[in-house]
Structures are given as C-alpha cells and as structure tokens.
Amino acid sequence: MDRRDFVRIGLAAGAAVSGNRVLAAPATAGAKLGPGGILDAGVLEQQQMMEAGKLTSHALTSQYLARIKSIDKSGPRLNAIIEINPEALKIALEMDRERNLKRVRGPLHGIPVLLKDNIATADRMSTTAGSLALSGVRAARDAHVTAQLRAAGAVIIGKTNLSEWANMRSTHSVSGWSGRGGLTLNPYALDRNCSGSSSGSGAAIAAGLATLAVGTETDGSIVSPASICGLVGIKPTLGLVSRSGIIPIAHSQDTAGPMARSVADAALMLSAMAGVDANDPVTKESAGKGGDYRAALEKGGLKGKRIGVARNFFGRNDDLDAVIEKALLALKAQGAVLVDTEVPNVGKYDDSETEVLLYEFKADLAAYLKEYAPNAPVSNMADVIAFNEKNKQRELPYFGQEYLVRSQEKGGLDTPAYREALANNHRYSRAEGIDQVMKEHRLDALVAPTGGPAWLTDFINGDHYTGSFSSPAAVAGYPHITVPAGYVHGLPVGLSFVGAAYSEASLIRMAYSYEQATLHRRAPQFPASVSLAAR
C-alpha cells in the first residue's frame, strides 16, 4: 500500500546466448508480442537477435526513443518519461563496439533501461524525485545501483516520472504526479491511475518504452504500480540492493527493484543490481545470499511447495477475489500445497510505521543532499518546505505537503519514540508476523492479491485505494514479487508471492512457474477509459 493508505488504515522460443553462456528459453515463449514487436520483447529475445547480428543496441535504443516520442510525448501522451539521456545512443554504440570485440558483459549488455528519477546518475540528467526544488541538479556521483547496471552493460536511456518525493508529501496526493513531471497516465485506461510511487516506471515498461526499468519501494511503490500496469515487480530483501545514491524516505524500508514484462527479465535485472556496497553497511549482510537468479528460471518450481494463502488480504473486491481464486487453482495444478491462513498482527504497526518513516525521512534526506547534491538550492527538509511555499502555484496546485511538515517536526534518530516505533515494526512484522505464520505452517511462501485494480485519477479527493498486500513484507524488509494474474474489466491485477529474508531465488522459481503456466499479460491498447463489458 502507498504511504497515505497505511496512514489511514512473437519471436521463436529458442535459446539465447550471452557471451559464451547459453541462457534459458525466453520467458515470453508461446506468448504474443505486443504492437511494438521487438520493443515488447524481453531481454533474452533481444540478446538472441543481437548475437545473431540481426539487431544492434544502437538500433534498439533508437527505436525505443522513437516510441517514446510517438506514445509518451504525443499520441496517448502517457508522460511516463521525465527526461531522456542525451548520451543514450553514444552508450549504445559503445556496447555494440564491445560486442563486436567479443566483450559481452552479461545478459544486460546493450539492453535499454529506465531509472526512476530518484536514483542518482552522474551524467547530464538531473536527479530530482520529481521536485522542482532539485530541477537541473546533477548528482555528484552515480548511485550504486546505477553503477551496477552500467557495469553490466545496460544502456540507461532516461529517467521516469514518479509520485513526487516518492509519495511522501501529502496525505491526499495523486499518485503519479510530480511538480517537475506532471501526471503519468495508465496505458490500460488513460483516465485511471498508475499507482505509485514508481508510476512512470510501471507505465513505461507496460507501454514498451524500454526493456526494463528500476523502481523503488518503501511500502508498495514497486509492487502496486507493477500490479496495476500488468508487470512483474520485485521488491528485494532490504540490503540485497544498495540504497546509496537513492533519494530516500526511510533507510529501514527503502530499496530499489526491477520492473519488467516477465519474471525472467526481472530476475536478470535483479542479478545485475544486487551486490555489496561499502557505502551501505546493510548490504554486508547479503554477502553470499544473492547471486545469479537465472538458475531459478525453471518450470516445476511450484511442485510440492507449501504456500500460505493470506486470507486476511482478501474480501475487498469481489471481482479481484474471483481472479485470484483462479490463480490459486493454477498454483494447485502446478503441484503446490495451499494452506489457508492469515498474516498475524498486521494492524499493530500501522501507526508506528508512519512514525519511523517521518523520523527517517528528515534525517536521510539531509544526508543524501549533502553527499549527492551539495550544490542544490535546498539542503534539508525545512528548505524543501520553504521552496514549496514560495512556489505554490507550481508545486502545491492540487495537494499540500503535510508529510514534509510532520517530518520536519520530528527529532533525531536517537529519540526514544523513534526507537520504540522501529522495534515495534520489526517485532510484529517479522518475529510475530511473517516469520511466525511461515514457521507455524511450514510454508515456503505466502500469496495474496497484490492490490485492487486501478482507480480513477481524482485531483480533488486524491487517491482511492482498495487495499494492498505490500505492508507486511515492506515493514519486515522481506522480499515480495508480484506477477500478472488476470484482469478486472480490462484492468490488470497481480498475484503476490512473499517469503522470508533472502528467499528471492525460491520466490522467483515459484513466480516463474506460475507465470509460464498462465501467461496472463497482454500489452495495453491505450483506451481513454475502461470498458465495463471487458473482463
């Protein structure tokens, strides 16, 4: 769930080759590509064509840039891209040169990638979290995630729009809107919301504006827009992916993660993103626990798995529940053993989660600005609040900045109230939450609806949520994967897989098996509104 919610309650299916290593069959095998053809294809299909000499990174990047121009900046005007990397084609040419010299770095070599605009890039692009207060401000150095992707050969082609300050600005904001970027539209129904805060990343990948995108999550900001945009989203275990260089909300929950059109693509990207970072101490705990997730891309991963169905996250939408009940039948058909259960104590950290985020936002933002944006016109939360007040017409036309003000009023991270709230979060989300139910029923994973279908965008009343399964894993810092599960009146909805810390490989194996058995995803058609006759 997003912040306000928890406060208020056709290519051939051959093998693809990367360097000298043969990769698994494409995840889209047997599925039809969208109207974008190769632009709707996955990493392995695109790599196969580049290895065969039928495609170059420069040509692929050029086609994505042209599609951005025709669909994002005109046509339906999705407004998912906040900035194009002026060096994208140059980088693509360099990746082609390396390929010609037989220097292929891995599966992402030459693959176009979009980054959410709260991830630092030490290049000609700004890093702003959607705020005009940081417009034109270039980061002092790359975020660790950015450096990891560059080292893997990815071509960073631009930044995506987002809910400003990752949706931690107002108690009744509109997801997908930022002062710098405006509103991102949902490609499955242009009058409906993409959710957030990784709204642009979700809309962009759904619409085929790049092969892959990076989102970030504190609570729901990857899995919610991924579900609503018909994508696979992975929120990793806290510490598997470095937080360094990402404009923060809260270090106890923030993480970056992949958003993609298939489980295989998301797994390949996660492999490249993960890694120990000397500048982020929590990543030291992930040493030896991550790795190459390609081995998890195998069918049969559900056979014999004990999966807890978190029934306390059903019952909010009858149509959604009907879709997920069919998903459960698919899990059983693949050999899973389903156990009806509930995640305990989920209501015992609603308020304390908010408290922790407010305390950490103030401290973490100041630390980020000092290290990555020392020349910015703002250096702390108080400066941002003052900037917004001075620029009300551009920054505050639809909703306010209640969270920023509340955060500024908090004390330091040595405040007893903060420490107590953090301890409460961990107790009830971990030991007496996910850990408890998984141990009691000997579970390999928990499943539930990721969230409801997209709501109508409403600038008067703000967002209209219909529940979410994001908070338990978000507060615990545990992994969460959402996979397309079907449609409610033409609007995508997802099935979530949640597990214990560092269980990404197991979750990917189960999610991949479910995806390949169902292949629910279909490309959006950009209708002006939803058809109630559609299912």
- In this structure, is the dihedral angle defined by the CA atoms of residues 275, 448, 220 and 73, taken in order, positive or negative? positive
How large is the average pLDDT for residues 223-230? 98
Cα 12 to Cα 48: distance, rounded to the nearest angstrom: 10
The total of structural domains in the chain comes to 1
Asked, for residue 359, whether it belongs to a domain, the answer is yes
The confidence score (pLDDT) of residue 466 equals 84
Which range of residues forms the domain containing residue 88?
A: 35-281+294-518
Asked, for residue 463, whether it belongs to a domain, the answer is yes
Cα 448 to Cα 331: distance, rounded to the nearest angstrom: 12
Tokens (6 digits) for 418: 């903060």
Q: Inform me whether the pLDDT recorded for 9 exceeds 60.
A: no
* Residue whose token pair is 């991963």: 301
Q: Inform me whether the pLDDT recorded for 210 exceeds 70.
A: yes
Cα 222 to Cα 482: distance, rounded to the nearest angstrom: 9
pLDDT tens-digit map of 361-393:
999 999 999 999 999 999 999 999 999 999 999
Asked, for residue 22, whether it belongs to a domain, the answer is no
Cα 321 to Cα 330: distance, rounded to the nearest angstrom: 14
* Cα–Cα separations (whole angstroms), residue 348 to 184, 187, 430, 433: 34, 36, 12, 10
Asked, for residue 523, whether it belongs to a domain, the answer is no
How large is the average pLDDT for residues 266-288? 97
The confidence score (pLDDT) of residue 531 equals 81
Q: Pick the catalytic residue from 221, 252, 271, 429.
A: 221
Asked, for residue 11, whether it belongs to a domain, the answer is no
Specify burial of residue 402 (Cβ count, 10 A radius: 0-12, 13-18, 19+).
middle
Cα 210 to Cα 434: distance, rounded to the nearest angstrom: 35
Q: How many helices (H) and strands (E) does the chain have?
A: 17, 15
Catalytic, 116? Answer yes
Q: Within its chain, how far is the Cα of 45 from the centroid?
A: 22
Asked, for residue 525, whether it belongs to a domain, the answer is no
The confidence score (pLDDT) of residue 31 equals 40
Q: Pick the catalytic residue from 57, 116, 224, 362.
A: 116
**Which amino acid appears at position 260 of this protein?**
A
Residue 116: CB partners within 8 Å, gap ≥ 6? 159, 160, 162, 198, 200, 201, 213, 214, 215, 216, 256
Tokens (6 digits) for 183: 């509103």
Instruction: Give pTM, 2 decimals.
Output: 0.94
On average, the pLDDT of the chain sits at: 93
* Cα–Cα separations (whole angstroms), residue 461 to 172, 174, 256, 394, 465: 7, 9, 29, 19, 12
Q: Pick the catalytic residue from 173, 197, 271, 429.
A: 197
Q: Inform me whether the pLDDT recorded for 16 exceeds 70.
A: no
Q: Do the beta carbons of residue 527 and residue 188 sit within 8 Å?
A: yes
Asked, for residue 530, whether it belongs to a domain, the answer is no
3-state secondary structure string across 223-292: HHHHHHCCCEEEECCECCECCCCECCCCCCCCEEEEEECCHHHHHHHHHHHCCCECCEHHHHHHCCCCCC
pLDDT tens-digit map of 452-495:
999 999 999 999 988 999 999 999 999 999 999 999 999 999 99
Catalytic, 197? Answer yes
Model confidence band, residue 53 (pLDDT cutoffs 50, 70, 90): very high
Asked, for residue 237, whether it belongs to a domain, the answer is yes
**CATH number for the domain that contains residue 507:** 3.90.1300.10
